Structure formats: C-alpha cells, structure tokens
C-alpha cells in the first residue's frame, strides 16, 4: 500500500533525533568539562577508544547538518544539551561559550522552519558528579533539577517542546554493569539510581514548568520494550510481566502517582529501602506526552519448570532480523505497547521519539544502498499509521538518527543514520538511500509505494 504523510494527520510531528555526546565532538572546546562518557572513551569502555572525542564533529558542522535535516522536510529536530558543556562540573556556573553552541543550533533550526525539540539530559553526566557517587547519591536530585531549570531559562524563549530525561532505564543498566566504574554487577546501586532518577525527573519537570509556563510541552522518554510473543500466557507471561514492571512500569507508575509495581516484579522489591516518607508523592509529575523509545521487543521462550526465559531469537516475527546492536525486529510491538498503555495516566499521548535500525553500511560508487533500513522504517510507520487510524494517542515519529554517530559502547560499529559519515574523509556527509526515501515520503503528496 502507498504510504502518505497525509495518512497520519495534520497534527502529526515528523522529525529526526540525535544526542549530544554521540555527534558533537569538541570534547574540551570553549570550557567544556568532562562527562562520564568522555572518561569511558579514555578508559577503553568504548569500542575504538578515543574516536568518540571527535564523534562526527557536529559541533563545527551545525550549519551543514541543519541544512541536511531541513532538506528532509521534517517538522522537528530532536537534540540534547550536554550537561558539562554548559554547566561546568555539574553545579554551574553557566558556561556562556558552551551555551552559545545551542543558541546557534536552536536559531538555526528556527531559521530553516524546523522546530527544536530539546532533551535536557541524554546520559552525559558530569564526571565530577560521578566521582561523588553519581545517580546513587540522593543529592543528585537537586543537582539535576537545578541544571534543568537553568536550561529552560536559557532556551525557553525559543523552545516549546521538551524531554526531561532520555531512557533512564538505559542509565540504570550502565550503572548495574559498572560501565562508569568497577565492572558490575551492581544491582543495589542500580535500584538506588532508578529511584533518584524518578525523583529528579519530577522535580526538574516542576521547576521547568515554573520557568516556561503553561504553553510549553514537557515530556520525557522511556524504553518501551515488551516481552514477545505478545500473546504469552501462564508462567511465561508472569516472567514477561516481572521484567516489564522493572523496565517500563517502574518509571511510568511513579510519574503517575501510583508508586512502584513491587507486587509484579521481585527484581524491584529491594528498592523499598531507598524510599523515604513523601518520596512517592515527590516522584509524581504530569507529563504532557510520553516519548516512546522503540527498537524491538525482548523475546522469551516457554520452557519446562522455569516457565519462561529470555532468548536471542524472535521466532514469531515476520523475519529473523536483528540490528548490529543485536536488537530483534518486530514492528507489531509498537501497536501492542500503544494498546497496553493507552489508558495509563502517565501516557496522555505518545510520541515515538526514537526508532531506527543499525547496519554496517558501506559506500559503493558514491551511494549507500540501505534497503534493509528502508524496510524497517516503512514497516514501523505502517504500524504507526494503523495506530493513528485506530484512534490510539500517538502523534509523532522521530527517526533515529539523522546521521551515523558514536553508538555508545559500540563506538563506530553500527550505523543508524540517514546520512553516511565518512570517518576516513574528514567526516564527509552523504545522504543514504533511506534519506531519499524518507524525504520523498515527507515532501511528495502522492506518497511512496
């Protein structure tokens, strides 16, 4: 069937997304202080080592990149603020030189008719705060809220769409594994951090609203990976539910004032020791939208005695396809999560803030033929279109990512971009076939077959 932009409605937001650490480079320019990920590069925790200190040099190429983003025909560009670039070692003062970079990006977006959607925090915790305990320290709640408040004050005159925190679950995973310290496991540190992140996001949201006023739209983003197969029953479903309660509901329920789903997940129960009087009320915040980070589900298999266990293969999918970061592909997971969470009080509306596919792209004769990424994007958009037609409250889709970048611990291994970055030729940008496909979808009224 033909896919048309008009199928999604006039109020649907189309965009692309990125994160500061993954694209900017300029790791020590204009007074920027080190982050935990800068340190991870130097400590060998990132594949290919120091490549992330340059990333894709977006700091020095913002005009070129914004021209390419605007050329797609998107409505919005989602990007994040690098905490130690603008706020020193975590508690200020504001770094005017570092903050000017984001002024240029915001103004550049608006000049090109592209709405800036800002993520306050996308994992780049200042190294100085990490050395004080990072997210395991309760004082981080006020540190983060003060940073978010100042970011809102500096850019709120031009930015109307905000995301407080990108994927707190992923940061919990980094802490559990010891990526920024002694190699894990660290389950209790992870649970303490999970609770502090919930408190920090809510307090940041309140302070941002006080600065920005009622017209601003403040959301956040969370991982929404459900257990598959989606029709599992019995012990297999109970196992899935225990994992989903930890990975999804442990963030949504506190925001909605429901507390933690301790009854559903034994993995969460030790967190009780970190909850103080008044915390469950303090963790509540009325988000205007919930950002959905979706790449695929976590497959499970029913086995005797154990009931259900996670497995690497997704046998129920249309095709056994996985990205370079080993995430299985199942577009139906998107509509499944919309249906399951449509009535959750933290999810008044959904925006797909990340969705994309990692490949080992190659340039051949000046062209990158990434048909598999086009297949992935089309299938997921067809599911989003189905959700819109069904009346499910989803009104935005952001492709991850506008360009290849540093894929965290994977380094340069695994390209997710619509634009190819040639690391051997001064970071030269080349639009891939997927860029042309997305561009046609967004700019051709007849759509794309």
Active site residues: 167, 354
* Spatial separation of the C-alpha atoms in residues 56 and 412, rounded to whole Å: 10
* Spatial separation of the C-alpha atoms in residues 251 and 260, rounded to whole Å: 8
**Which stretches does DSSP call E strand in 259-393?**
289-293, 298-303, 307-310, 350-354
Distances (CA, A) of 23 to 50, 71, 134, 175, 282: 14, 19, 23, 23, 34
Q: Work out the angle at residue 16's Cα, subtended by the Cα atoms of residues 12 and 22, and round it to the nearest 5 degrees.
A: 150
* Spatial separation of the C-alpha atoms in residues 397 and 385, rounded to whole Å: 11
* Spatial separation of the C-alpha atoms in residues 312 and 436, rounded to whole Å: 32
* Spatial separation of the C-alpha atoms in residues 443 and 449, rounded to whole Å: 14
The edge-to-edge listing of strands for the beta sheet with 307-310 is 227-228, 298-303, 307-310
């Amino acid at each position: 069937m033909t896919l048309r932009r008009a199928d999604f409605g006039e109020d649907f937001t189309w965009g692309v997304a990125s994160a500061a650490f993954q694209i900017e480079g300029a790791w020590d320019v204009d007074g920027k202080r080190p982050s935990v990920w800068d340190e991870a590069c130097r400590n060998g925790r990132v594949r290919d080592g120091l490549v992330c200190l340059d990333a894709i040099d977006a700091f020095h190429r913002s005009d070129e990149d914004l021209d390419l983003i605007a050329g797609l025909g998107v409505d919005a560009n989602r990007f994040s603020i690098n905490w130690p670039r603008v706020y020193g070692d975590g508690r200020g003062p504001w770094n005017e030189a570092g903050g000017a970079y984001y002024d240029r990006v915001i103004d550049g977006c608006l000049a090109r008719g592209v709405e800036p959607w800002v993520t306050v925090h996308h994992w780049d915790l200042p190294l100085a705060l990490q050395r004080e305990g990072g997210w395991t320290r309760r004082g981080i709640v006020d540190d983060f809220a003060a940073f978010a408040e100042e970011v809102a004050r500096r850019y709120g005159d031009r930015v109307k769409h905000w995301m407080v925190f990108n994927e707190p679950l992923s940061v919990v995973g980094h802490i559990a594994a010891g990526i920024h310290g002694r190699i894990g496991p660290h389950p209790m540190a992870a649970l303490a951090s999970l609770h502090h992140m919930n408190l920090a996001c809510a307090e940041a949201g309140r302070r941002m609203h006080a600065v920005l006023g009622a017209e601003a739209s403040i959301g956040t983003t969370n991982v929404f990976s459900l257990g598959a197969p989606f029709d599992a029953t019995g012990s297999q479903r109970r196992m899935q539910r225990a994992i989903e309660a930890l990975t999804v509901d442990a963030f949504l329920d506190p925001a909605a004032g429901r507390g933690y789903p301790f009854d559903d997940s034994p993995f969460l129960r030790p967190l009780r020791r970190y909850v103080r009087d008044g915390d469950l009320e303090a963790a509540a915040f009325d988000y205007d939208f919930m950002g959905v980070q979706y790449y695929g589900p976590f497959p499970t298999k029913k086995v005797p005695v154990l009931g259900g266990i996670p497995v690497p293969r997704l046998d129920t999918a249309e095709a056994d396809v996985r990205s370079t970061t080993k995430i299985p592909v199942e577009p139906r997971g998107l509509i499944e999560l919309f249906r399951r969470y449509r009535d959750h009080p933290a999810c008044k509306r959904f925006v797909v803030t990340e969705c994309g596919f990692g490949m080992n792209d190659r340039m051949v004769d000046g062209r990158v033929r990434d048909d598999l990424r086009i297949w992935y994007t089309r299938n997921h958009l067809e599911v989003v279109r189905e959700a819109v037609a069904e009346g499910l409250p989803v009104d935005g889709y952001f492709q991850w990512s506008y360009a290849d970048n540093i894929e965290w611990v994977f380094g340069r291994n695994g390209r997710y971009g619509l634009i190819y970055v040639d690391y051997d030729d001064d970071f030269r940008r080349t639009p891939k076939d997927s860029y042309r496909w997305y561009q046609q979808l967004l700019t051709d009224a007849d759509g794309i077959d």
